[in-house]
Amino acid sequence: MTDRPARPVDGARPVDGTPRSHPALRTPICELFGVRYPIVQTAMGFVSGPRLVAATANAGGLGILAGATLDLPELATAIAEIRRRTSAPFGVNLRADATDAAARVDLLIREHVRVVSFALAPKPELIARLRDAGVRVVPSVGARRHAEKVAGWGADAVIVQGAEGGGHTGAVPTSLLLPQVADAVDIPVIGAGGFFDGRGLVAALAYGAAGVAMGTRFLLTSDTTVSPQVQRRYLDAGLDGTVVTRALDGVPQRVLRTDLIDRLEHAGPLRRLVRSARSAARFRRLTGTPWRHLLAEGLAMRRSRELTWSQVLLAANTPMLLRAAMVDGRVDLGVMATGQVTGLIDDLPSCAELIDRIVAEAVAVLDTLQEGRSDGDR
């Protein structure tokens, strides 16, 4: 496993070593979120914890805590830990359909959290409540109609994930979805799915985005708590090393291709259900998670995604399979959500090195484009 330092791009850094920025990189989300650079670290369950969030914030990006996998006391503790690690703005991800969503929102307002993101669209009254308290609301969407809906409800910005992205994802690639959404709404749009370097950041800006959001690229840094053996599996994967499967909960999601996923893909519905039940029971014993919590998770997904009853248990089990890999390091038993971009990543920089590199590369690309235009005007 290589752990290379960030490589500066010639001409993109001044002598003091800090990355030279560019006016094009000062986008509306920089002011909206209070960050130096238009780079967002997405909320990944069991990955985006206080250490990663604070490291991203200290490096000038927006780190988002994965709050959906924490109970309310754990969420409060995690926010307090981030506060100890950084004074920079950060965000928290919530589930709009959580049974204690109101209590979570109260906590974020009391703690003056700058940004809240949602994987499922929050109701207009919830958006209004957060905005009235000065909290920026940023839902994630995978279709233009969803972006138009939340924009009409008052969202401050929207993260648009194309098919290359990890976890639950759609079928339209980022290169098509991003400009479509950017043309359709009048709030800042953040591109997600397939981004990992400065060239991608410039491309997203050219498509009309105000920045990029990255998950897998931040997972593969030295600031995560993900075990080395799990990171090794990501680094070893090629561009064909991921698969979009419905075998986990009936909803398409992109994960690393593993023996477990292959077995689930080729198993019939009943066999998948039995295997999932056994796996849920095994991890319930390991973690002490009550059955009622697992079933509540599945029922929440059933309501929000119209799952069949057979998919409820599969949906309830999915967080346990994610936890097995990301927390316990069980690459043989767990599920590893990933963006397709994992096939282009081969190192583990710190968040500071990564963001400095992306900014330096973006400045170099912008300078080259400007030089080309100037040459053409002569």
Measured CA to CA, the distance from residue 32 to residue 30 in angstroms comes to 6
> What pLDDT sits at residue 11?
36
> What pLDDT sits at residue 374?
63
> What pLDDT sits at residue 293?
66
- Report, as ranges of residue numbers, the positions in the chain whose pLDDT lies below 70: 1-18, 268-316, 373-378
> What pLDDT sits at residue 15?
42
> What pLDDT sits at residue 98?
85
Measured CA to CA, the distance from residue 180 to residue 196 in angstroms comes to 21
> What pLDDT sits at residue 331?
87
Q: Residue 12: what are its φ and ψ, rounded to 5°?
A: -100, -5
Q: Report the side by side order of strands in the sheet with 242-245.
A: 167-168, 253-256, 242-245
Determine if the pTM surpasses 0.85. Answer: yes
> What pLDDT sits at residue 265?
81
* pLDDT, tens digit (0-9, with 9 covering 90-100), for 143-190: 999 999 999 999 999 999 999 999 999 999 999 999 999 999 999 999
CATH 3.20.20.70 range(s) for the chain read 23-226+345-377
Measured CA to CA, the distance from residue 91 to residue 87 in angstroms comes to 13
Closest to 101 in 3D by CA, of 135, 75, 83, 79: 75
- Could you give the angle at which helices 174-184 and 144-153 cross, rounded to 10 degrees? 30
CATH of domain 23-226+345-377: 3.20.20.70
* pLDDT, tens digit (0-9, with 9 covering 90-100), for 286-345: 545 666 666 666 666 556 556 665 566 666 677 778 888 898 888 887 899 999 999 999
Say if residues 166 and 195 touch (Cβ distance below 8 Å).
no
CA distance to 93, 148, 357, per residue, from 69 (Å): 9, 28, 31
The dihedral over CA atoms of 106, 65, 313, 328, expressed in degrees to the nearest 10, equals -140
Q: Kindly provide the residue ranges of all beta strands, DSSP E only, lying in 201-316, ordered along the sequence.
A: 211-214, 242-245, 253-256
* DSSP H/E element including 168: strand 167-168
